[in-house]
Chains A and B, each alone.
Chain A
Amino acid sequence: MTTQPRDKQPNEFPIRVLVAKPGLDGHDRGAKVIARALRDAGMEVIYTGLRQTPEMIVNASIQEDVQCIGLSILSGAHNAIVPRLMALLKERGADDILVVLGGTIPAQDIEFLKEQGVAAIFGPGTSLETTVEFIRANVKPRGVAV
């Protein structure tokens, strides 16, 4: 697990989040709603746009110095995408980034994805508040240069 207990989060440093849409799917309603909700909650949000490879997502996360990656996957490709993404984060020494996943994920895949290091999986019907609170409570504090 990469989750950490809530640390002191200095108010002057907003949490930085990358909302990413990997895979071939174009259904971006959820990703956009989440991006805006996180922004409204005071976070700095970068939205990648569509069809990002794990490599592109990891590069962007490091360049943008984010504390959290929010993946939106509805197509069923999570078991192919998530392990590649987590391996790349580790390879680049960026596995302290909190990774959360939203979308339609079958119950039987949840354990595997959590073993891979996904901190939380938010299925259909999850409230925006739940997602915001989880990220606030679990990101690592910022301030250390990469």
Chain B
Amino acid sequence: MPRTTSEDVPQGVKTPADAARHVSAGEQQWIDEILTPTVTKSPERPIGANTGTNRNEDGTARFTTISAVPVERLYTPADLPADWDQHAAQYLGHPGQPPYTRGIHATGYRGKLWTMRQFSGFATPEETNQRYKYLLENGGSGLSVAFDLPTLMGYDSDHANSEGEVGKCGVAIDSLEDMEILFSGIDLEKTTVSMTINSPASVLWAMYLVVAEQQGADWKKISGTLQNDILKEYIAQKEYIYPPAPSMRLVIDTFEFGAIHTPRFNPISISGYHIREAGATALQELAFTIYDGVEYVEWALRRGLDVDDFAPRLSFFFNSHNDFFEEIAKFRASRKIWYRLMTERFHAKNARSQLMRFHTQTAGVSLTAQQPMNNIARVAIQALAAVLGGTQSLHTDSYDEALALPTEEAARIALRTQQILAYESGVAQTVDPLGGSYFVENLTLKMEQGAFDYFDKLDAMGGMVRAIEQGFPQKELAESSYQYQRAVEAGEKIIVGVNDFVVKETAQQILYIGESVRESQTAKLQRLRERRSNEDVVRRLAALRSAAAQEPRATPGKLSDANTMPYILDCVRAYATVGEICEALRDVYGTYEEASWT
């Protein structure tokens, strides 16, 4: 598949550089008569300490976004391309119309609100099941499963490496039995469920599918999302097991399986969230995430799949950080960029292949342990940005998440924040209300431009897997996060309650998870291993190993012979554990260790 060259990128998306601004007579008059005397009399002052980096060469104040992008005093028509009005359809269009900058639905949220999907999971499957029922009873409209670290890394709760980690960062799932408990009393045909699982994604998905089947749900009707985004693990979150090539193969296996068996389930959520949390700027989050999407498409095409068979089910996941307008610009730009890539680079014909659909979560990294109640305000602003950016679903963080997993009360306030936005604020009543704002449109165009500049670099490196092997995105993130931390240390960026407006505080009530989860999961595993047919498990794991070792080739309309999904489903049905199945794949693929870049 030929990669895009810069000639394919249409010209005319560039925002005018300062020198090229064509200032109108009215604006010039304002500069001369109003602005200049004002600035002379009372000079502008940077927000935060005067560090020198927030001053221009002539000593005037310099204002920047949280990603260090300069922000001008005022935006006017002079900050839009000269042919903006003439080519309005190409630049912007209308909602539900290419290039989808203004949203993927013609009616925005007037027909259907975003899905309020709170990410949750802790301790045992029994306890998490109770929290899910609580969230659904309180008006949550979808579920999102947080797994604990042993599950994410493909170890059972009784493995030596799991010591101290079981049930801490999410729910502990070892076998189909745990998945049955997790969704007991929850109708999987009616509830959309998102699962944050990556390296062992196909294993947990197989467990989910079997539970749905046991409930009598039709696989063709169930809907939800598997995170299954291994590329951002290598870039940011680092919960990988196998090396990149076999990991990509497992992902493509799920695309292929999903296209045939679960047409309403998103087999992947291509995630910028973690890239941003690891220190990326808004632009880096946008560019690396969408380019990860490009890489998945390239690998699926190499398998022999048709782009329109799987692209309609590719979904995305972004972070919503503190810098309000920058975030909105990022969301708006993401839709246009994906549309352009799918049409210009991949020649997708199906309109659904061209739609960027995304979930958003407010920025965990922005939450402070100091004066934690202040986080409620941060989350509300970030959630508002996501809604104004046109997100399909939203998770709002709980105010106590810089300290621990959320208490029930904190989780409820987070959900209520979304409900206040949806039902009280009025922002859901009109589509893309910031469309046409000179500032937001200028930022949106700059995001698009900046992303395509990164794509050129990544293409030149030979794609994302190659870029990861060279440490390129990892180093970019490390640099951005360090520069940001330096700006905070210098007081150039203010974090309320942390480096300014500080008070003395007492300790906060938090959710505390002890070591008992490991004990109860271990006892459950022991009973399971006594009860199930271990011979059957061994036989099915051997069949999986043999399929995993073969190279799958697609035949149109059929699953590749060596697609691992049916074999994993077989293992799961025999109650093979997450650890056993991942171990079988480790036997075939080996494990990955990155060189450490600091």
Q: Given the known A-B contacts A33-B485, A36-B598, are A125 and B512 also in contact in the complex, defined by CB atoms under 8 Å?
A: no
Could you tell me the distance between the alpha carbons of A47 and B478 in the complex, rounded to whole angstroms? 14
Interface flag for B536 (CB, 8 Å): no
A75 and B478 contacting across the interface, CB-CB below 8 Å:
no
Could you tell me the distance between the alpha carbons of A49 and B239 in the complex, rounded to whole angstroms? 13
Q: Is the interface of B mostly helix, strand, loop or mixed?
A: loop
Interface flag for A10 (CB, 8 Å): no
Name which of A23-31, A56-64, A91-99, A113-121 contacts chain B. A23-31
Q: What are the nearest 9 A-B pairs in CB distance?
A: A80-B164, A26-B238, A77-B164, A76-B168, A49-B596, A24-B149, A107-B507, A124-B369, A125-B498
B368 and A76 contacting across the interface, CB-CB below 8 Å:
no
Interface flag for A2 (CB, 8 Å): no
A29 and B481 contacting across the interface, CB-CB below 8 Å:
yes
A124 and B512 contacting across the interface, CB-CB below 8 Å:
no
Q: Given A26-B238, A33-B478, 11 other A-B contacts at CB below 8 A?
A: A24-B162, A26-B240, A29-B477, A32-B598, A36-B478, A36-B598, A75-B169, A77-B163, A125-B368, A125-B402, A128-B485
Could you tell me the distance between the alpha carbons of A47 and B597 in the complex, rounded to whole angstroms? 9
Interface flag for A143 (CB, 8 Å): no
Could you tell me the distance between the alpha carbons of A23 and B598 in the complex, rounded to whole angstroms? 19
Q: Name which residue of chain B comes closest to A125, CB basis.
A: B498
Interface flag for A106 (CB, 8 Å): yes
Which chain A positions have C-beta within 8 A of B169?
A: 25, 75-76
Interface flag for B61 (CB, 8 Å): no
B494 smallest CB distance to A (angstroms)? 13
Which chain A positions have C-beta within 8 A of B420?
A: none
Interface flag for B18 (CB, 8 Å): no
Q: Given the known A-B contacts A77-B165, A107-B507, are A26 and B485 also in contact in the complex, defined by CB atoms under 8 Å?
A: no
Q: How many A-B residue pairs have CB under 8 A?
A: 113
Could you tell me the distance between the alpha carbons of A4 and B489 in the complex, rounded to whole angstroms? 27
Could you tell me the distance between the alpha carbons of A63 and B100 in the complex, rounded to whole angstroms? 57
Could you tell me the distance between the alpha carbons of A99 and B225 in the complex, rounded to whole angstroms? 42
Which chain A positions have C-beta within 8 A of B237?
A: 26-27
Could you tell me the distance between the alpha carbons of A47 and B512 in the complex, rounded to whole angstroms? 30
Interface flag for A123 (CB, 8 Å): yes
Q: Name which residue of chain A comes closest to B239, CB basis.
A: A26
Q: Given the known A-B contacts A33-B482, A106-B404, are A45 and B161 also in contact in the complex, defined by CB atoms under 8 Å?
A: no
B481 and A32 contacting across the interface, CB-CB below 8 Å:
yes
Which chain A positions have C-beta within 8 A of B365?
A: 29
Interface residues of B (CB under 8 A from A): 149-150, 152-153, 155, 161-165, 168-169, 233, 237-240, 277-279, 365, 368-370, 402-404, 477-478, 481-482, 485, 489, 495, 498-499, 507-508, 510, 512-513, 515, 593-598
* Contact indicator per residue, chain A 97-141, by CB within 8 Å of chain B (1) or not (0): 000000010111000000000000001110111000000000000
Could you tell me the distance between the alpha carbons of A36 and B164 in the complex, rounded to whole angstroms? 28
B233 and A75 contacting across the interface, CB-CB below 8 Å:
no
Could you tell me the distance between the alpha carbons of A128 and B488 in the complex, rounded to whole angstroms? 10
B89 smallest CB distance to A (angstroms)? 42
Interface flag for A9 (CB, 8 Å): no
Residue in A36, A48, A125 whose beta carbon sits within 8 Å of that of B596 in the complex:
A48
B596 and A29 contacting across the interface, CB-CB below 8 Å:
no
Interface flag for A35 (CB, 8 Å): yes
Q: Given the known A-B contacts A107-B507, A127-B489, are A79 and B598 also in contact in the complex, defined by CB atoms under 8 Å?
A: no
Q: Given the known A-B contacts A107-B507, A124-B369, are A23 and B164 also in contact in the complex, defined by CB atoms under 8 Å?
A: yes
Which chain A positions have C-beta within 8 A of B164?
A: 23, 75-81
A72 smallest CB distance to B (angstroms)? 12
Which chain A positions have C-beta within 8 A of B478?
A: 32-33, 36
Chain A residues touching B, range? 35 or more
Could you tell me the distance between the alpha carbons of A5 and B465 in the complex, rounded to whole angstroms? 49
Which chain A positions have C-beta within 8 A of B279?
A: 29, 33
Could you tell me the distance between the alpha carbons of A104 and B481 in the complex, rounded to whole angstroms? 18
Which chain A positions have C-beta within 8 A of B149?
A: 23-25, 75, 77
- Which of B169, B368, B370 has the most chain A CB atoms inside 10 A of its CB? B169
Could you tell me the distance between the alpha carbons of A81 and B165 in the complex, rounded to whole angstroms? 10
B596 and A75 contacting across the interface, CB-CB below 8 Å:
no
B214 smallest CB distance to A (angstroms)? 30
Q: Given the known A-B contacts A107-B507, A127-B489, are A76 and B481 also in contact in the complex, defined by CB atoms under 8 Å?
A: no
A49 and B594 contacting across the interface, CB-CB below 8 Å:
yes
Could you tell me the distance between the alpha carbons of A130 and B557 in the complex, rounded to whole angstroms? 61
Interface flag for A43 (CB, 8 Å): no
Interface flag for A50 (CB, 8 Å): yes
B489 and A129 contacting across the interface, CB-CB below 8 Å:
yes
Which chain B positions have C-beta within 8 A of A32?
A: 478, 481-482, 597-598
Which chain A positions have C-beta within 8 A of B482?
A: 32-33, 36-37
B598 and A80 contacting across the interface, CB-CB below 8 Å:
no
Which chain B positions have C-beta within 8 A of A36?
A: 478, 482, 598
B402 and A104 contacting across the interface, CB-CB below 8 Å:
yes
Could you tell me the distance between the alpha carbons of A27 and B279 in the complex, rounded to whole angstroms? 11
B598 and A47 contacting across the interface, CB-CB below 8 Å:
yes
Could you tell me the distance between the alpha carbons of A100 and B338 in the complex, rounded to whole angstroms? 45
Which chain A positions have C-beta within 8 A of B150?
A: 24
Which chain B positions have C-beta within 8 A of A26?
A: 233, 237-240
Could you tell me the distance between the alpha carbons of A48 and B495 in the complex, rounded to whole angstroms? 30
Could you tell me the distance between the alpha carbons of A127 and B490 in the complex, rounded to whole angstroms? 10
Q: Name which residue of chain A comes closest to B149, CB basis.
A: A24
A104 and B238 contacting across the interface, CB-CB below 8 Å:
no
Which chain A positions have C-beta within 8 A of B499?
A: 127
Could you tell me the distance between the alpha carbons of A48 and B582 in the complex, rounded to whole angstroms? 25
27 chain-A/chain-B pairs, Cβ below 8 angstroms: A23-B149, A24-B152, A24-B162, A24-B239, A25-B149, A27-B238, A27-B277, A27-B278, A32-B481, A33-B279, A35-B598, A36-B482, A37-B482, A47-B598, A49-B594, A49-B596, A50-B594, A76-B168, A76-B404, A77-B149, A77-B164, A104-B402, A104-B403, A106-B403, A124-B402, A125-B498, A128-B489
